[in-house]
Amino acid sequence: MKSAFIAALLIIFLYPSAFSQVLKIYQIDAEQGDAALVITPSGKTLLIDCGKKGQGERISALLKKEGKNNIDVFICTHYHEDHYGGIDDLVNRQGISVLKAYDRGDKQYLRAAKLKEKTYIAYQAAVGSKAVHLKRERVISLDPEMTITCIASGGVVAGESSPIPGNDENDLSIAILLTYGKFSYFTGGDIESPTEKKIAMGNLVKNVEVCKADHHGAETSSDSMFMVMLSPSVIIISNGNDGEYQHPRKVILSRYNSLEPKPDVYQTNKYLRSGPDGGNVPDGFIADPETVDKDGTFLVTASKTSNQFSLNYGGVTKNYPVKE
């Protein structure tokens, strides 16, 4: 009996990761932009988008907090500055190396004006020129304990027999489903209703624990059929305080509230402009309700050995059950 106990202690001492593997997802306060940093159970790093120009410092600080100094995989969901602008700062000013990058490809079809944009040129110089075209159904091998699956890219979804690509940059976004044990997380960049409908009709993503609201809670996204299929326990909206686009939209917040079961909806920042269409969740669900200098980042943690996952922000911790 005593020898078995000692052997168990030795296993814990020699292989602590086998007992402490945790998935971490930082939904970063990127103001009116998107950025999510994933720390996989084995300690690999995945960055999905990186906010606007100059926002690499916040991502770098999180990496240092986690004891990391590189990004193993970076995914740029689409070619809008609020999703790729921060990568130049992260790589060239913060000194963070990116080992592998993916984007939606098809750059030969971009408008000449886009190709001349300074932030796009900076993206290309930092990682874009070496980025791999991430196509639907591709599974990214990063950690054997979890799966990272491309559900949509370029307006085409997994399993689409007669692909009809989209023509709007937002709806061309890469959509990713991340699973770890029974826990699942969906992030779709700025995909809009046409692609969301195809995901729903294909029964590709359903009953997730957490989703990042598509397109910052814009009225053009969060299609009703799609949200019913997704049925998230938690929705996190990445938004700024004074965005001219009035995100999140009141009509979308009402749509979320009408879901059954009703999800908990969170925002990184409080919308403060007086536009009639913009709205907010209650202050207790906003990571930065004052929207001054506070970091409105959310941290989601999940473990295979637990039947719940946690959401942390601003000193608050909330636990939710993992769906069976």
Break the chain into its structural domains and give their ranges. Answer: 22-313
Q: What is the pLDDT of residue 261?
A: 97
Tokens of 113: 């004006």
Residue holding tokens 């943690």? Answer: 301
CA dihedral 242, 246, 247, 249 (to 10 degrees): 150
Lowest mean pLDDT among 8-17, 189-198, 230-239, 256-265: 8-17
Q: What is the pLDDT of residue 111?
A: 95
Lowest mean pLDDT among 19-23, 60-64, 170-174, 273-277: 19-23
pLDDT in tens, 273-306: 878 999 999 999 999 998 766 789 999 999 999 9
C-beta of residue 208 within 8 angstroms of C-beta of residue 176: no
Whether residue 12 has pLDDT greater than 80 = no
C-beta of residue 98 within 8 angstroms of C-beta of residue 74: yes
CB crowding 250-259: b at 16 or more within 10 Å, else e? bebbebbeeb
- pLDDT grade for 126, boundaries at 50, 70 and 90: very high
CA proximity to 49, closest of 179, 163, 188: 188
- pLDDT grade for 164, boundaries at 50, 70 and 90: confident
Q: What is the pLDDT of residue 94?
A: 97
* Rounded to 5°, angle at Cα 60 from 54 and 62: 125
Longest Cα–Cα distance of the chain, Å, equals 73
Whether residue 11 has pLDDT greater than 80 = no
Q: Peptide bond preceding 248: is omega within 30 degrees of 0, i.e. cis? A: yes
Whether residue 204 has pLDDT greater than 70 = yes
CATH number of 22-313: 3.60.15.10
What phi-psi label fits residue 179: left (phi over 0), alpha (psi between -120 and 50 degrees) or beta? Answer: beta
Q: Tally Cβ neighbours within 10 Å of residue 319.
A: 10
Distance CA 282, CA 280 (A): 6
Mean pLDDT of the residues in the chain: 92
Q: How far out from the chain centre does Cα 164 lie?
A: 25
* Beta-bridge partners for 124: none
Lowest mean pLDDT among 73-77, 183-187, 244-248: 244-248
